[in-house]
Amino acid sequence: MAILEEPIKEVLLIKNFIAGEWVESKGEIKDVVNPATDKTIAKVP
């Protein structure tokens, strides 16, 4: 059985939902890493 993986074209930047709107973080941003591929798949505040 083959496992197919679609390549990630860009890293997703997750924003915070505060007071009814999406805002970017003003602090530290951490990478979310896929442990199977060791590739960054998102960044979160």
Q: pLDDT (tens digit, 9 = 90+) per residue, 1-45?
A: 566 667 667 767 778 899 999 988 788 888 999 999 999 988 887
**What is the pLDDT at residue 26?**
81
Termini Cα distance of the chain: 37
This prediction has a pTM of 0.51
Q: CB-side exposure of 16: number of CA atoms within 13 Å?
A: 10
Q: Name the residue among 26, 31, 27, 28 with its Cα closest to residue 13.
A: 31
**What is the pLDDT at residue 27?**
83
Parallel/antiparallel/unpaired status of strands 16-18 and 39-44: unpaired
**What is the pLDDT at residue 15?**
84
